[in-house]
């Protein structure tokens, strides 16, 4: 029986999620700092008047350094608040991390009384997005709820979406459907990966630009080990390998 996109996504979530969970706390903290510093160095971050962050769960890339930098620069900071009934995200403003409380899926969220993000009130918005895996052309594999796909679609093309990932989470490609939203950038500890339509980051920033239909197999930000494990275009997956 042919494997479906849903089957392939499930396999990727299991293997990449396990790999991320296997990181030591020390490694996750160190790599997260490098990744966040890369974000802070970009021109699109400095040009933004508002940033949407997320409260990392487990070994997800942290955003606490970006939070501190944004607050010190008087940049408006928002965090997602999930409405499970409607399957949507509402970004609400946070002025201190202590305002976050445990919410849907056990993730820290702002209170419902906090100000909601009005995209028309800010000249440029950066949305930092977590994920289990990412593709070279901006594809993202989340937990399967589609919350961020709907949220990014609602914000429109004016918002710059940025996936924060460890380099082992970056694959040549990821299976996707018409409902999946691609990101403008994927930032890892190794490089800034720029989708073809995204604005340029800071001068001299190490970037890898990817155009539709072309995959750069020499990209140093991708662990070549994964290529032997997944050939998703041919619906092949590893059997019990880690």
H or E stretch covering 152: helix 147-155
Instruction: Report pTM.
Output: 0.80
Phi/psi of residue 44, nearest 5 degrees: -65, -30
Domain boundaries, the chain: 5-232
Each residue's pLDDT expressed in tens, for the chain with a length of 242 residues: 678 888 888 888 888 888 898 999 999 999 999 999 999 999 999 999 999 999 999 999 999 999 999 999 999 999 999 988 888 999 999 999 999 999 988 999 999 999 999 999 999 999 999 999 998 889 999 887 889 999 999 998 889 999 999 999 998 888 888 888 899 999 999 999 887 565 545 444 545 543 333 333 344 333 433 433 333 333 333 323 22
CATH of 5-232 given 3.40.50.300, 3.40.50.12710, 2.40.128.260, 3.40.50.10420:
3.40.50.10420
CA angle 26, 96, 181 (to 5 degrees): 70
Chain position carrying tokens 């949407």: 52
């Amino acid at each position: 029986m042919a494997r479906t996109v849903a089957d392939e996504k499930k396999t990727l979530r299991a293997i990449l999620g396990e790999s991320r969970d296997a990181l030591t706390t020390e490694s996750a903290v160190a790599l997260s700092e490098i990744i966040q510093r890369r974000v802070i160095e970009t021109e699109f971050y400095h040009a933004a008047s508002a940033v949407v962050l997320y409260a990392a769960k487990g070994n997800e890339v942290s955003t606490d350094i970006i939070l501190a930098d944004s607050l010190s620069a008087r940049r408006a900071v928002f965090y997602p608040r999930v409405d499970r009934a409607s399957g949507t995200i509402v970004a609400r403003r946070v002025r201190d991390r202590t305002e976050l409380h445990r919410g849907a899926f056990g993730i820290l969220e702002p209170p419902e009384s906090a100000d909601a993000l009005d995209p028309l009130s800010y000249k440029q918005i950066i949305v930092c997005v977590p994920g289990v895996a990412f593709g070279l052309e901006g594809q993202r594999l989340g937990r399967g709820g589609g919350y961020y796909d709907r949220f990014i679609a609602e914000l429109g093309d004016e918002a710059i979406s940025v996936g924060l990932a460890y380099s082992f989470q970056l694959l040549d490609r990821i299976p996707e459907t018409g409902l999946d939203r691609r990101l403008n950038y994927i930032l890892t500890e190794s490089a800034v990966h720029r989708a073809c339509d995204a604005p340029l980051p800071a001068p001299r920033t190490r970037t890898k630009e990817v155009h539709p239909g072309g995959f750069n197999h020499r990209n140093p930000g991708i662990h070549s080990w994964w290529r032997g494990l997944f050939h998703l275009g041919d619906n092949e997956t590893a059997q019990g390998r880690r």
